[in-house]
Amino acid sequence: MGKEGLIVLRSERPWRRSIFRIFMYVVFGKAGAHAQDWSPGLVLTIPQAPLERGAIVYRGKGIAPLQHPAVLKSAAGPEVFVIGSGPSLPANDISRIRPRSAILLNGAISLLGDKIDAPLAIAIEDERFVWRHFRLMVDKIAADSICLFSVAVIRAICEIDGGWLADKNVILIDNIRKPYRAKRRKYSQLANLDFIRVKGDRAGFSLDPSKGVFQGGSVAVSALQFAAYCKPERIGFFGLDISNAAEPRFYERVGGTAKSGLARAKDRILSHIGLGRDVCVEQGIELLNFSATSALSECGLPYDSRYALDSKHNENLVP
């Protein structure tokens, strides 16, 4: 990695990218401004069937294969845990969950090699995390890991060091409302698709992530749709606090907290996860919340203490 890469790792987002975002909005308007996610230089071939492999190409150079979400489904077991990086996380004994059952969101990759040896997948959809923490990604995410990455995240990685992706199993998180190489779509345009569930114009849920997912203010919303696609018996949330997003994440130092839009997006997140809860009930999947301070209790997911460090029920794990 060159000197420029080392500099941008400390930045929220390079100024040139912020200026480019504004330029794309002015040129393409609301309907097409998301073209900035893949511009300039990123070309994706998205696999359409479980046995197909697509491709990631950046500035004319082949970077890595692009996998179908079936790769994730085949690796999943009866439990899938979506693990965020909220301040509540240290109150849980994460080490007791089964290997290859955790989808780690953003800074939760800090758990790798400590509390988590073998995750199911990594999920990152905000490119700002890449610019801030690419060194952490390099240090923590092993070869052959399943990585759920958005278009913008893939492009940002390619800008810094595309070669790092070569030995990863990358699956695309494609925003179904702002899809790759297509115009922005309204909820009403998606409501009649047989793999889609919507709740007015506030929330949506995709049963087929290969065709896109609804992004809803937190990567946890996307991760839930991928988790449900795996058809486990249960899905559990750790560290998805939302209401205390201004506090340092478990891996951050006091005073070194990155800006978060979680609190501002609280209603949007809860609307999507509330709809996801309904879909999971419909699919026979149990949905659980293991954070005592999580706002998830407001959308029908009360706190479950079975993984709490001080719980009297620590021996009564989910079978």
Q: Which domain holds residue 188?
A: 3-299
Contacts with 179 (C-beta within 8 Å, 6 or more apart), sequence order: 185, 212
Cβ burial 28-49 (10 Å sphere, 16+ → b, else e):
beeeebbbbbbeeebebebbee
Domain annotation covers residue 235: yes
Domain annotation covers residue 176: yes
Domain annotation covers residue 30: yes
Domain annotation covers residue 309: no
Phi and psi torsions of 179, nearest 5°? -75, 160
Residue 116: DSSP 8-state: B
Q: Write down the pLDDT at residue 2.
A: 37
And the tokens for 237?
A: 């949330």
Q: Is 225:198 a contact under the CB 8 Å cutoff?
A: no
Domain annotation covers residue 186: yes
pTM, two decimal places: 0.90
SS3 205: strand
* Overall number of domains in the chain: 1
Domain annotation covers residue 311: no
Q: What is the CATH number of the domain that holds 262?
A: 3.90.1480
Strand partners, 236: 81, 288
Domain annotation covers residue 317: no
pLDDT along the chain (319 residues), means of 10: 36 84 92 96 97 97 98 98 96 96 97 95 98 97 98 98 98 98 96 96 96 97 98 98 64 48 83 98 98 95 94 49
